[in-house]
Structures are given as structure tokens and as C-alpha cells.
């Protein structure tokens, strides 16, 4: 489970900041960290993710990846069978054999991630030792790393955090004394290109995105590196970058017009760009995005929304829904709350907002049914039962799989929240 990791001090932003945080420990309804492989393997095109797990793990990945399995995907599962579990064969030997076959068949793989799962954890398979041994066998052509995506240790988006944390240790040391910017968190390429255009348009020329599109082209890091998170679930990665001397830029997350504007202004301030220059560069895109929200606002203004905990995106999403779409926040669940990273977001939530960290799913379902919100954002497993009770739902996973960051995507994000309501209105007509 996660610890609250001290991140270097983030100054408070304006706002009331007196939200109520309820903590719950009970049965949870969330995916495990293996799910992150779906977007990580799309992003790093020369990496391969080998889950050391069971048939359940393989099924999870194949169903989450959908049609991708018909192409030759860059992920797979080394199945731990009954003989392995019974200690009848040496799992390390089996792993060496599978990896040898894989790398011979796929010579374009430059980074191989061994991904731990519940079964590998249960049999106490030392994946660190396995990665070291396999790295010795296959370097320099292939770098072999490991991290855990097991459901015992991680939820949903924590898999990306664990993966990026493992990569941070591999980043080369930056010698250049000029300050550079690193944008941290997996973003769709279209979003990355738009954000890069705006950042470079402000005059910041040394900008890297992490993770990179090619895993062997790792950006350098050092004491002159300033980094900003593009995703809210990367506390361990942030801590690892700080340990390499980099400094975090406190900011809102780039969701919605306000989130993206403030995120870019925070970058500008940290990188010595004049406020006016930043405002001038972002104004046209911000104005366009603002106009594009009108249709969704018309549907959602005044409606209430309830978030079940899923991806750690819930708090920035709630801020966007409330401040830019006029929605009322009934409850904002999050699987884990990193108070320092989330401080700028929490400060903008209305006073008395109910934030719930962790989960006791039955109690939370009772509260949700009692509140009867207009829209519920929840995991796949809860959506059908809630729809059956007459509630309107949105699958939280769609908000992770769809590009929603930045100005150009603000309307898409709003559309994801308004679509279930439009559907309901059509059915009622």
C-alpha cells in the first residue's frame, strides 16, 4: 500500500481549502496496477511489458486492450502455473527461457519491463534479481527493469507510477547548466504535441516529456531540471526525480481551461517567462476552449455529481466539473490522497466538499443511493447496478483512456460527462 511520501514543500494557493476528508478502509472496487500497461505500451513504442502472473492477469490485459490483441502487442504474460506454485520447477529458469525466446523473436525491443503480479508476489519471486540477471544477459541491446502491478500492492494508475519510478533511476545525469523542463506523465501524442507547441511558444526550448516515445531515448535529469506533473498519480515518480536533484513545479493539473491555463502559467513562472508573454501565447487556445464548453455546460449546469474512487484523477475532475461546468459535488472519492501534490486542487474545491480517501464500497454505495446524484463516475463493476437503480453513470476508466488534458481536449472531457445525460434525455423523450 502507499505511504504519504514527503514531497518538497508546495506553497498553498488561494481558496478556502477546508474540504472534509473522510478516510475509509474496507472492501475496494478498483483495477490493479497492471491496467497501466495498456497506455504505457502505446506510448513507449520500443518497450515490452512482460507480466509474470496468472491467466487472470492475461485476461485482464487482453480484455482491457480490446482489439489490440489482434496486432502483435508489446505486452504479454508469462504464466505461473501450478507446477511453479508448488515449487516443482525453477521459475527463474522458465523466465530466462521465455525472455530469451521473446527477445530473439522481437529484436526491436529496447526495454523489457518484468511486471510483478499477485501470484509472483505470493510465491515471493524476486523480480529484482531476475531483472538484474536478465539485464546482464541481454545488455546493451535491451535494458531489463522491473516493477509491481499487483493488486495487493497497487491500484489502477499506480502501475504507471511504479513503472516511471523504475525508469527514473535509468535517466542519464544532466551536465548542461541551463535550466530544462520535464513534463511527467503519460500523455497521448496529440496532447503532447499541443502542449509542447504552447510551452515552446512561450520561449522554453529545453523541454522533455517523460516517459519518452522511445524508451531508449531517456531525457537527462539534474539539479537544473524543473519538472511538472501532467498526471496526478505520480507521487513516487516525483519523489524519485527529487532524489535526482530535480525540482517540482507546484501546479493545478491540466484539465479544463482553468487547469491548463494555470498549469502553463506555473511553468512560465518557474522557467522565467514573463506573465504577459505566457498570457499572450495561451489566449487564443484558451478562448477557443472556453467557447467549446458551452454546450456541455448547458446540460450539466446545476446537476450533482458523485465520484467513486478509481484513478486519482477524481479531485482535478471534480474541480473542473464544479468550476467550469457548474456542477454540484456530492462526494469526491479518491483511492489515495497525496495532500501535498493535491494542495493546489483542494484549495479550489468549495468549502465543505466531502472528499473520501480509500473505500468501503458498501457504505459508499449506500451514501450514493441516498444522495441520488444526477451523475455518478464509477468503475465498470458498479455502473450496471447503479443504472439499474435509476442513476446515470460514467465509466471512470474512459476518463483515463481518452485524451482529456489541455485546451483542445477540454470539450471532449466535458462531453464525456454530458453524454450520459444526453442519452438519458433522448431515452426519456
Residues that bind ligand SF4 (CB under 6 A): 32, 34, 53-54, 56-57, 60, 117-118, 150-151
35 or 225: CB nearest ligand SF4: 35
Query: In sequence order, what are the beta bridge partners of 143?
Result: 111
156 or 306: CB nearest ligand SF4: 156
53 or 344: CB nearest ligand SF4: 53
Q: How far is the CB of 81 from ligand SF4 (least distance, A)?
A: 14
- With CB atoms as reference, the residue minimizing the distance to ligand SF4 is 151
44 or 80: CB nearest ligand SF4: 80
Burial category of 351 from C-beta neighbours within 10 Å (exposed 0-12, middle 13-18, buried 19 and up) = exposed
115 or 267: CB nearest ligand SF4: 115
DSSP 135-200: HHHHTTT-EEEEEE--TTT--TTHHHHHHHHHHHTTPPBP---S-EEEEES---HHHHHHHHHHHH
* Torsion, Cα of 158, 161, 162, 166 (10° steps): 170
CA–CA gap between residue 164 and residue 355 (Å, rounded): 27
| Residue 377: closest CA among 423, 310, 428 | 310
**Residue tagged 480509500 (cell numbers):** 358
Q: How far is the CB of 152 from ligand SF4 (least distance, A)?
A: 7
Q: How far is the CB of 379 from ligand SF4 (least distance, A)?
A: 13
Q: How far is the CB of 170 from ligand SF4 (least distance, A)?
A: 24
60 or 266: CB nearest ligand SF4: 60
Q: How far is the CB of 34 from ligand SF4 (least distance, A)?
A: 5
- Edge to edge, what strands does the sheet with 247-248 contain? 207-210, 180-184, 225-229, 247-248
Q: How far is the CB of 32 from ligand SF4 (least distance, A)?
A: 3
Amino acid at each position: 500500500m502507499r505511504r504519504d511520501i514527503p514531497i518538497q514543500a508546495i506553497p498553498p494557493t488561494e481558496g478556502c481549502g477546508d474540504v472534509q476528508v473522510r478516510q475509509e478502509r474496507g472492501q475496494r472496487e478498483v483495477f490493479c496496477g497492471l491496467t497501466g500497461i495498456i497506455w504505457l505500451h502505446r506510448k513507449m513504442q520500443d518497450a515490452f511489458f512482460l507480466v509474470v502472473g496468472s491467466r487472470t492477469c492475461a485476461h485482464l490485459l487482453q480484455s482491457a486492450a480490446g482489439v489490440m490483441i489482434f496486432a502483435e502487442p508489446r505486452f504479454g504474460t508469462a504464466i505461473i502455473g501450478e507446477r511453479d506454485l508448488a515449487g516443482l520447477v525453477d521459475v527463474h529458469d522458465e523466465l530466462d527461457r521465455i525472455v530469451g525466446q521473446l527477445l530473439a523473436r522481437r529484436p526491436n525491443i529496447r526495454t523489457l519491463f518484468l511486471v510483478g503480479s499477485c501470484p509472483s508476489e505470493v510465491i515471493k519471486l524476486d523480480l529484482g534479481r531476475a531483472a538484474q540477471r536478465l539485464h546482464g544477459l541481454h545488455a546493451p541491446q535491451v535494458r531489463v527493469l522491473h516493477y509491481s502491478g499487483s493488486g495487493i500492492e497497487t491500484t489502477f494508475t499506480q502501475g504507471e507510477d511504479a513503472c516511471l519510478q523504475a525508469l527514473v533511476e535509468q535517466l542519464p545525469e544532466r551536465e548542461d547548466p541551463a535550466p530544462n523542463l520535464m513534463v511527467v506523465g503519460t500523455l497521448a501524442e496529440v496532447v503532447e504535441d499541443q502542449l509542447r507547441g504552447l510551452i515552446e511558444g512561450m520561449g522554453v526550448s529545453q523541454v522533455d516529456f517523460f516517459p519518452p516515445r522511445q524508451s531508449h531515448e531517456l531525457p537527462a535529469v539534474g539539479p537544473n531540471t524543473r519538472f511538472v506533473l501532467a498526471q496526478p498519480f505520480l507521487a513516487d515518480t516525483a519523489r524519485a526525480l527529487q532524489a535526482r536533484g530535480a525540482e517540482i513545479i507546484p501546479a493545478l493539473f491540466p484539465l479544463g481551461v482553468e487547469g491548463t491555463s494555470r498549469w502553463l502559467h506555473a511553468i512560465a513562472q518557474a522557467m522565467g517567462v514573463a506573465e504577459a508573454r505566457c498570457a499572450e501565447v495561451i489566449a487564443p487556445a484558451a478562448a477557443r476552449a472556453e467557447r467549446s464548453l458551452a454546450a456541455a455546460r448547458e446540460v450539466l449546469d446545476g446537476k450533482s455529481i458523485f465520484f467513486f474512487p478509481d484513478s486519482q484523477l477524481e479531485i482535478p475532475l471534480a474541480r473542473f466539473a464544479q468550476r467550469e461546468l457548474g456542477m454540484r459535488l456530492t462526494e469526491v472519492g479518491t483511492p489515495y490522497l497525496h495532500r501535498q501534490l493535491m494542495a493546489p486542487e483542494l484549495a479550489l474545491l468549495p468549502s465543505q466538499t466531502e472528499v473520501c480517501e480509500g473505500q468501503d464500497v458498501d457504505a459508499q454505495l449506500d451514501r450514493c443511493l441516498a444522495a441520488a446524484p444526477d451523475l455518478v463516475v464509477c468503475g465498470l463493476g458498479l455502473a450496471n447496478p447503479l443504472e439499474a437503480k435509476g442513476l446515470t453513470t460514467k465509466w471512470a476508466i474512459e476518463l483515463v483512456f481518452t485524451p482529456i488534458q489541455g485546451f483542445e481536449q477540454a470539450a471532449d472531457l466535458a462531453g464525456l460527462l454530458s453524454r450520459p445525460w444526453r442519452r438519458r434525455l433522448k431515452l426519456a423523450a
